[in-house]
């Protein structure tokens, strides 16, 4: 019976050591990923502000497309394009 306890204790110890090693490796990868994301965020900030004029143009075009005037124009075009 004592042998079973020893085997179980060794198995539990090995499982705990494996879990600890895996946790350390995972935390190292998380740290590496966080550094990469921080680097990306710092470098992308300046580049994204350069896109502001294009984004504003797209917003104005999309708001024009969803406005009432465009819907009226679509309806009129639909009346004339029916066969």
Instruction: Tell me what pLDDT residue 34 has.
Output: 96
Instruction: Tell me what pLDDT residue 50 has.
Output: 75
Distance CA 6, CA 2 (A): 6
Instruction: Tell me what pLDDT residue 56 has.
Output: 85
Distance CA 38, CA 46 (A): 14
Secondary structure tally for the chain: helices H, strands E:
3, 0
Each residue of 33-76: pLDDT tens digit?
A: 999 999 988 888 777 777 778 888 888 877 777 777 777 777 77
């Amino acid at each position: 019976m004592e042998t079973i306890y020893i085997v179980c204790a060794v198995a539990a110890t090995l499982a705990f050591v494996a879990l600890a090693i895996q946790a350390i490796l995972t935390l190292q990868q998380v740290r590496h990923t966080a550094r990469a994301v921080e680097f990306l965020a710092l470098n992308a900030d300046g580049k994204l502000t350069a896109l502001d004029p294009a984004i504003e143009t797209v917003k104005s075009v999309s708001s024009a497309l969803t406005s009432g005037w465009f819907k009226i124009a679509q309806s009129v075009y639909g009346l004339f394009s029916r066969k």
